[in-house]
Amino acid sequence: MASVDVDVADNSDITDNSPPSKRDRITKEAVKRGRPPKTVGRPPKATGLTAQPSIILSMMSRVAKLETTVSELVAAKESLEKNVKEQGDTIRSLHASLPAQENTTLRMYHKIITNEYHFPSLSVYVKQSRSSRFPYMLTACGKSSKGFLHANLSLWNHVAKLMPKRLHPKAFAARLGAIPLAILTPHST
């Protein structure tokens, strides 16, 4: 075999006594076999491959759009949470006022039934039931209307079943205050 001169990297700082590096040994073996030398270690830096400015600008615009979308979603979420909280507060305030409205309505019925309030045409709208077990029960007369007496009649009759005897207005109010809200709620208007 003919000897081949190998142009190996300048190793002037290495003495002749030092063993050859792995790179030198592999390069020499590759040249002996007639192949191009393999690179050992880090590959050489590629030349001419730089990021195109248009790609970078495109990516930056996409990131900006994503950031805008995320901030809009966060704002929409906060707005939705605020609306849900406001609606919850409104519902709680309605539930808090419901017993007061029902209590007032039922006390008004009691005053009308006991003739504490003058209501001359009462018999046109409602009449007292003939039940001895439930003295406060009422029945509707004539056509049903959207008036006060017909609109709250089912609520009144439901409460009247809980009152087995006629009561003084103060005793009625005390008894009415003792009725749990759960009993009154399904019959509210």
Q: Which two tokens stand for residue 21?
A: 């590096």
SS3 145: coil
Query: Is 22 domain-assigned?
Result: no
> Per-residue pLDDT for the chain (189 aa), expressed as one digit of tens each?
444 454 555 555 555 566 777 777 777 887 777 777 666 566 666 665 565 778 888 888 999 999 999 999 999 999 999 988 888 777 666 555 557 777 788 888 888 777 777 777 777 778 888 877 888 888 888 776 777 777 888 888 888 888 778 888 888 888 877 777 666 665 544
Would you say 30 and 37 are in contact if contact means Cβ atoms under 8 Å apart? yes
d(CA 176, CA 118): 22
Q: How many CB atoms sit inside 10 A of residue 129's CB?
A: 15
What is the amino acid identity at position 173?
Answer: A
Domain that includes residue 171, residue range: 54-187
Query: Is 42 domain-assigned?
Result: no
Query: Is 133 domain-assigned?
Result: yes
Query: Is 12 domain-assigned?
Result: no
Tally of domains within the chain:
1
